[in-house]
Amino acid sequence: MNKTFQQNFLANQVAIVTGGATGICYGISLAYLKYGCKVLITSRKEEVLKQSCTTLAQESGNQNVAYFPCDVRKFEQVEAMVQFALDKWGRIDILVNGAAGNFLVPFEMMSVNAFRSVMEIDTFGTFHCCKAVVGKWMSKNGGVIINISTTLPHCGVALQSHAGTAKAGIDALTRHLAVELGPKKIRVVGIAPGAIEKSEGFKRLRMDDSSGFGEDFEKLLPLQRAGNNDDIAPWALFLASEMCKLHHWINNYS
């Protein structure tokens, strides 16, 4: 990555990363910090957040990382989290919506509340964060919103109707907001990872060794291996970078 991106190209920028304490979004937070960004991570568990802040600062060498406990299902908590970032650093350039909930469950055994819980964390959580960040900052100042979904809804898989539906909602929201907020200089984009090893999803969907698939699982994948954080974080860097400013592309390449 060092050879691809300019050193400290995110200096003076501020990112909020929901779900940033673990998995894919930990990797994104780490990459942003390494390139000079200030990063606020958020999730529900304060102990996990605290620990992750310490390791993120150690691994990146950047002390500008903070946390704010928040349940993205609750708009009031999201507003307080966004206000915390603004009070601390005075701006928000990047919002990464990565907080998600998931488990394997057959459709016929899924309770209404189980479906609702995942919809509320994934789809409503993403909506809440977009609404608070756009309302409090980006509407007047522009910025980048990166919504994390997944490849699941494009093919459909068993035991995942709740998560696939929730992620499809996120993809639709991404497209609608991209069109509606583009004129305000807000780039709304998405990343849809497949199976990413060591992530919470990987464990919960039993794609790790506990499934008994072991190496056989990887043989089912085109590249014969699962993805990892280093496959995803560079996309989050690129999408937040000057290179991804679409008017820049149009001016230079059309």
Q: DSSP labels for 95-131?
A: EEE---------GGG--HHHHHHHHIIIIIHHHHHHH
Taking CB under 6 A as the binding criterion, the range among 87-95, 116-124, 170-178, 236-244 that sits at the site for ligand HXC is 116-124
Does residue 105 belong to the site contacting ligand HXC (CB under 6 A)?
Answer: yes
Q: Are strands 143-148 and 38-42 parallel, antiparallel or unpaired?
A: unpaired
The encoded tokens of residue 41 equal 């991570």
Q: Residue 210 interacts with ligand HXC (CB under 6 A)?
A: no
Tell me the residue type at 174. Answer: T
Residue from the set 57, 66, 86, 114 that interacts with ligand HXC by CB under 6 A: 114
Q: Which of 75, 91, 117, 168 binds ligand HXC (CB under 6 A)?
A: 117
194 near 150, Cβ under 8 Å? yes
Q: Which residues of 176-212 are buried (b: 16+ CB within 10 A; e: fewer)?
A: ebbeebeeeebbbbbbbbbbbbebbbbeebebbeeee
Closer by beta carbon to ligand HXC, 89 or else 124? 124
Indicate the residue among 48 and 244 with the shorter CB distance to ligand HXC: 48
For residue 47, the minimal CB distance to ligand HXC (Å) is 15
* Residue 167 structure tokens: 């992620």
Of the two residues 5 and 235, which places its CB atom closer to ligand HXC in the complex?
235
Choice between 117 and 228, CB closer to ligand HXC: 117
Q: Is 228 in the site for ligand HXC (CB under 6 A)?
A: no
DSSP H stretches of helix in 6-104: 23-34, 46-60, 75-89
Residues engaged in binding ligand HXC (CB under 6 A) = 100-103, 105, 111, 113-114, 117-118, 121, 150, 152, 163, 195, 200-201, 204-205
